[in-house]
Structure 1
Amino acid sequence: MNIVLQAVSGHHPSAKPGAPAAVRAVSLGARAGEQLAIIGPSGAGKTTLLHLMACALQPAAGALLLDGQDPWQPSRRALQRLRKSLFLAPQVPPLPPRQRVVTAVLAGRLPHESLWASLRSLFYPHDIALAHRVLAAFDMSDKLFERVDRISGGERQRVGLARALVSQASLWLVDEPLSALDPTRSQHALDTLTRAAHERGATLIATLHHVEMALAHFPRIVGLRDGAVAFDLPAAQVTPAHLQALYAQHLHELTGPASDAFPTDPAPVVMHCR
């Protein structure tokens, strides 16, 4: 799916009336099958931008085009049909605690199923083999029939990502998918996600706090600061100077090799005796 934002502004879902926009006049585009990461300090507007792309929020200004279509112009039914092509993975997946993992994973297919099939799947999952296969891709096949409230936060996050692999969406929007994962799991999760998106020809846009992971796994990096695009570059062209400007006053948020260029310890004080 192609996506184009034309001077889009929007407010955070929990913003009070009259609050300033969290996203300000952002112009951005991605071609079908492209993969890009959005990075930036806390409060930069990354989650709000992702929700605008997912049609979960209506722009306060500007225009969003999905495959050349403004999703907010057609009828409500047309908007619902368009949303079937979108998959949004929140940072904290909304998983019912008493639900089995197999059911939670297969929920990624619900937008494309009839009401009867959806209800039946809640009690009798109809494609257990598919759920097992995608969970295996995230090293979680042994959790197939566990209850959601009996797995760890990192495992719940991977269940949320596994939903993308069963969905029929052509635009995957993933918000901070590594926040509950250790470095090894993070590496594997991104490898799995980016490979699956490439095989499907799906457009993948992810927000990431882990700058080193973004640079290693995504060919294109968008830096967001104070609700505006600071840079939009191939990963190979993102320099320490770009990151230093992007994370000014927030250098403590940089992790891994990306932070090596920015010493956080104060310079030693040299004493001269007379």
Structure 2
Amino acid sequence: MTTTVSRSMPQARAISMPPLGLGTFRLKGQTVIDAIKSGLSLGYRHIDTAQIYGNEAEVGQAIAESGVPRAGLFVTTKIWTEQLAGDRLIPSLRESLAKLRMAAVDLTLIHWPSPGGAVPLKETLDALIEAKRLGLTRAIGLSNFTVAQMREAIDLVGVDELATNQVEIHPFLQNRRVVDFAKGQDLPLTAYMPLAYGKVMTEPVLLDIAARHGTTPAQVSLAWLLQRGFAVIPSSTKPSNQAANLTATALRLSDEDMTRIAALDRGERLADPDFAPDWD
């Protein structure tokens, strides 16, 4: 599956991100190797990893052994907070590339804003732009950035330099202020934890919508996000679930479905470490 959707990435940007990817958060060792090989065999072409996940080497191994040409893949990694300084970012990215067995990744993100603003954002973005100039990454972007932090990044480098802001979005945390600002700036968003760690599977509203469409709450949640123009990166280790998730790209929800899901927002944030920014 190599289909892309223009709503995920504006035409002005040089890259096109497949709207549905395979996340690797919390996957380790042989588990992540098997998950990626399975996903690639089913048609996934977008793989998301990060330095802090501790699985870049296994991700690289799985891709290398899959037989899928590198040119047909979209691979994202994320720079950890300890590597955001100008003199540390590029060396750390080179280490990631060595683990991934790649000359370059498609997208490199700031995983979290520098805790307490210890490293100025300009310093990090300048290093990322240099990494792009050096051919180590095709695009750069943000993750877990608030409205104020997105505004600062846009002021520093321009919105067209930023491929996405990857943030937690699911039916129970709809992150409306971040979404509204990003859309107003034409900054694409990528939704992580789109299934809320499986909590969507027991939500009565999603169960009802799924039953009427002959699908599952997981696919309904993914379709809801995709229909709103976000890219999504669910994690899954079971081939059956991976295959089912792919079908979300073809599921069309009604206006009534979308309204009912919108009413599920309860501000239930699942990713909230002690170094997180002051959320909107």
Shorter-chain TM range is 0.3 to 0.5
Higher normalized helix content (fraction of residues): 2
Mark the structure with the bigger radius of gyration: 1
Highest RCO, 1 vs 2 (Cα 8 Å, sep ≥ 6): 1
Which structure features the higher share of strand residues? 1
TM-score when normalising by structure 2: 0.38
